[in-house]
Every structure is written in structure tokens, then in C-alpha cells.
Structure 1
């Protein structure tokens, strides 16, 4: 299973991976995934934050979860830790759409690299 396929499976059934489905639980899960991958030689989410900043077109001091919220909720939010249910669901949807785009671009870049034998 590729990372892209894995992210898609988490996005289809997030509650199976984090229990109570919430934006914050999913970002914590993905941060854990990233750290595990890096510890074991995988790429994890390397480049994800920079990709989000480039996608958004401007930088701020938010970590990647804040960058995702800026993209998902361009009009802002009142309380980062207590999003209204409709905003939370939209942010989760956008999170997995962005992850899919990021993973697809990374896969395409890897496919273009010359193979060393």
C-alpha cells in the first residue's frame, strides 16, 4: 500500500484510526505517523508544511495543521480547539484532499527519478 492509498483509507474511515473523529485527533495521528516513518527511514510528511505554504501562497507562523485550516477556512475561525461541527467536517475533508494532492505530487516526482541499479 502506498502512502497515498494509506492516507485515502484513513480519510474514508477516520474514526477507525482515531476513535472520535476530529480535526485535532487526525492531525495528532498524522504527526505520529510522520514521526514513526522518519524514525524508520521513510519520508513521512517531509515537505508537507512547505508544500502547504506554497499552495496557500503566503507564510505565517502556524504549523501544518494551522496551514490546513487557513486553506479550509479562509475566513478564519474563532477557536482553534473548538471548531463548529460543519467547519470541523470541512477541515477534515480538505485535509485529506490536500494530503492526496501532496502524495500524488511526491509519487510523480519519484517516478521521474532515474533508477540506480
Structure 2
């Protein structure tokens, strides 16, 4: 594999050693633990790492989790608005992440590899903070 996906996969593989939880039984993982595993190695789950692939996977995960009684990403968009945007917005959670990660960027045109990496890093960091906070109140 070459290009952007290969570079992002290497970045997240390098990051995995420090951030991935230990897994004894995958069926016993919390949503946070499962999504931390995904964040550590997204290419393993979706083929190769792209922002579009990651957000599509997370949207599918959210729908499946909710369908089967889990919380999924319920409240993530509202948490982003309350903690990082500060004003009501009609933008999706993935649009908010892009704005938070790259507030000075014009919304037109594709991301550079560096911008895509920045958005993914911010996404995974904020998602983990959201899930950690949600776990602490359960």
C-alpha cells in the first residue's frame, strides 16, 4: 500500500503501543475500550486509514450499538458543542471535529495528508475523553 492510507496506518500503528488497552476477552470490553482498540489500529478494521473510512465505521458502530442496546456515540455531538464549540450548531459530529481540529481552514477542497492526520488525532483524542467522562458518570 502506498500514499496517504499507508502513512496514516503507520502513524496509528506507532501510536497503538501506548494507547491500546490490554485485551483478555474481547466480549468484556467497554465501548471506550473497544473504540480505543479501533483508534489504535483503524486500518486493521477498515482496510486502510482514511478520515472518510473512520467516520463511516464510527457511524456504523453507533447504529449497531444502539440497535443492540448500547450507547454508541449517543451524546458525542452535544458534548463537542458544550465543551469545544460553545454555541449551537447544526453540523454533524464529524464536521464539528474537522472545525475543532482545523478552525482556520477553508471548508472547500480535500484535506492535505497533514490535515487529515490532525483531524484523526483530534477525533480519537476527543472521542476517548468523551467516553471516559461518560463512563465516570455511569
TM-score (norm 1): 0.87
Cα 1:4–1:51 change in 2 (3 A) is same
1:6 aligned residue: 34
Q: Which deviates further from its counterpart, 30-39 or 18-27?
A: 18-27
1:51-87 deviation line (CA, Å, top 9, x unaligned)? 111122123221110011111111124436x211000
Gaps of 5+ in 1: 111-117
- Corresponding residue SS for 1:42: coil
Tell me how many residue pairs correspond in the alignment: 109
2:86 aligned residue: 57
Asked whether the 8 Å contact 1:77–1:83 carries over to 2, the reply is no
Q: d(CA) in 2 for partners of 1:5 and 1:77?
A: 34
Structure 1's consecutive aligned runs of 4 or more residues displaced over 4 angstroms after TM superposition are none
Higher relative contact order (CA 8 A, sep 6+): 1
When the two chains are superposed, the root-mean-square deviation of aligned CA atoms in Å is 1.2
TM-score (norm 2): 0.75
Gaps of 5+ in 2: 1-28
